[in-house]
Amino acid sequence: MDAVEQRTRAMTQEQFEELARVGDRLSDALRLEFIDGKIGEKALPDGDHGRIIQWLTRLCIQADAGWWLHVDQGLRIGSYRKGNARPDGCLAPSDAFVGQGEWASAEGVLMAVEVTSHDSDTDRRDRVEKPRAYAETGIPVYLLIDRVTGEVKVHSQPGDGRYDMIVTTTFGKTVTLPEPVGMELDTEPLKDWVH
């Protein structure tokens, strides 16, 4: 373990949140996360990424007018809430985060959403670390829209630090987002936004 990793592992959640506030003021090019005791950076989304989130937001509101896909809301996640993640979207009641600030409790979150980016950390961050952290937090559904593989992965049934059910569907097919989301997702439009 190198010296930087040792210092990072000793960092508290409060210290990370202060560092993230400073980082947000200094850079418009990235956002910080604190998962599994490690600081990571998350690149800003491209236009296709934004369009996918827009599409999904509309579908979620059509399914239930009281829901909102909160974009980039910071969540306290993981074992004993010792992490901070900024999902691309959090499906929750529209007023779920009122009064909570930048880093909110994940209580009430129905689904966390990530759309892969074209950066070197996508595999580790979106496919390994975040599913584990969201499951540990008890978020019922994790939706990964993987633009690299052309697949949608629906993780559900969190328990023991992992999701027990993972359904993988290629773009162009319909997939069910299980309860508490309980909606069908036609993934055909995703084929247009994978550039």
In the prediction, which pLDDT does 180 show? 97
Residue 34 in any domain: the answer is: no
- Residue 169 lies inside a defined structural domain of this protein: yes
Q: Say what the pLDDT of residue 3 is.
A: 46
pLDDT (0 to 100) of residue 26: 45
Contact in structure between 93 and 60 (CB atoms under 8 Å): no
Question: What is the reported pLDDT for 126?
Answer: 80
Specify the pLDDT at position 83. Answer: 84
178 occurs within a structural domain:
yes
Give the per-residue pLDDT at 127: 84
pLDDT of residue 4: 47
Q: Is residue 40 part of a domain?
A: no
Q: What is the CATH number of the domain that holds 155?
A: 3.90.1570.10
| Below-70 pLDDT ranges, the chain | 1-11, 13, 15-46, 79-81, 120-123
**Number of structural domains in the chain:** 1
Tokens of 129: 């670390």
pTM of the model: 0.78
Does residue 143 lie in a domain region?
yes
Residue 110 pLDDT = 98
Distance of CA 107 to the CA centre of its chain: 14
Determine the pLDDT at residue 95: 95
* Cα–Cα distance measured from residue 134 to residue 131, given in angstroms and rounded to the nearest whole number: 5
In a domain, 21, yes or no: no
**The total number of residues written for the chain in this structure:** 195
β-strand partners of 165: 156
Amino acid identity of residue 53, one-letter, is I
Please report whether residue 146 resides in a domain: yes
- Domain contains 124: yes
CA dist 113 and 127 (Å) reads: 12
| Containing structural domain, residue 102 | 46-193
